[in-house]
């Protein structure tokens, strides 16, 4: 019984919770990488290298709004696509149980022209893949008509993960 009349505040340690979450995600991803491929793990051997940092890549790490899913979603951007167009490659390493209903949104803004837009990818269930067949069902879906110039990109998920911004130069058409 507290006889001093003072109350004691319980301090929370968010860094421990974040560290535990990242450790659990690392263990889950390690298990997913070393386990044999499953029906939901299309192109897993190609997806894993795309989840490592690179100058033209953003990686959002976190959980999902539903189910017990966690992992990483990455986008690799190339500003030298079709004329005045950038291209995006997606990679997913989301492990867990149940539906994930995770949505990743790649937002962009051309810093020279002011044009804006976004690409959206859905991760409905745990998977390790390069985004084929969804969200990229056709090569056209990987194209982003940003126009020429410096383009700033940000990646967010409905699970609260955020990556970016990064700036990638989209090459002008030289025809």
- Sequence-ordered list of residues with C-beta below 8 angstroms from that of 11, at least 6 positions apart, any chain: none
Distance of CA 167 to the CA centre of its chain: 16
The pLDDT of residue 13: 44
The answer, yes or no, to whether residue 172 has pLDDT greater than 50, is yes
Task: Give the H or E element holding residue 12.
Answer: none
108: its two tokens = 């962009």
CA distances from 61 to 7, 14, 103, 163 (A): 38, 17, 13, 8
Nearest-angstrom CA–CA distance, 175 and 173: 6
Per-residue pLDDT of 108-155, as tens digits, reads 999 999 999 999 988 888 988 887 656 666 667 788 999 999 999 999
Nearest-angstrom CA–CA distance, 144 and 92: 19
Per-residue pLDDT of 59-103, as tens digits, reads 999 998 887 899 999 999 999 877 889 999 889 899 999 888 899
Task: Give the H or E element holding residue 17.
Answer: helix 14-34
pTM: 0.72
The pLDDT of residue 80: 86
Nearest-angstrom CA–CA distance, 102 and 45: 22
The pLDDT of residue 41: 43
């Amino acid at each position: 019984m507290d006889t001093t009349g003072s109350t004691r505040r319980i301090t929370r340690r968010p860094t421990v919770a974040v560290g535990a979450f990242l450790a659990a995600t690392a263990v889950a991803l390690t298990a997913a990488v070393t386990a044999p491929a499953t029906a939901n793990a299309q192109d897993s051997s190609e997806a894993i290298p795309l989840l490592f940092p690179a100058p033209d890549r953003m990686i959002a790490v976190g959980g999902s709004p539903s189910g017990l899913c966690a992992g990483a979603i990455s986008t690799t951007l190339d500003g030298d696509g079709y004329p005045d167009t950038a291209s995006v490659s997606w990679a997913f390493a989301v492990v867990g149980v149940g539906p994930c209903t995770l949505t990743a949104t790649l937002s962009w803004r051309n810093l020279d022209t002011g044009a804006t837009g976004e690409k959206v990818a859905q991760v409905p269930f745990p998977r390790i893949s390069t985004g084929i067949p969804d969200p990229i069902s056709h090569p056209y879906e990987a194209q982003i008509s940003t126009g020429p110039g410096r383009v700033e990109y940000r990646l967010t998920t409905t699970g609260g993960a955020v990556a970016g911004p990064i700036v990638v130069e989209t090459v002008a058409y030289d025809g």
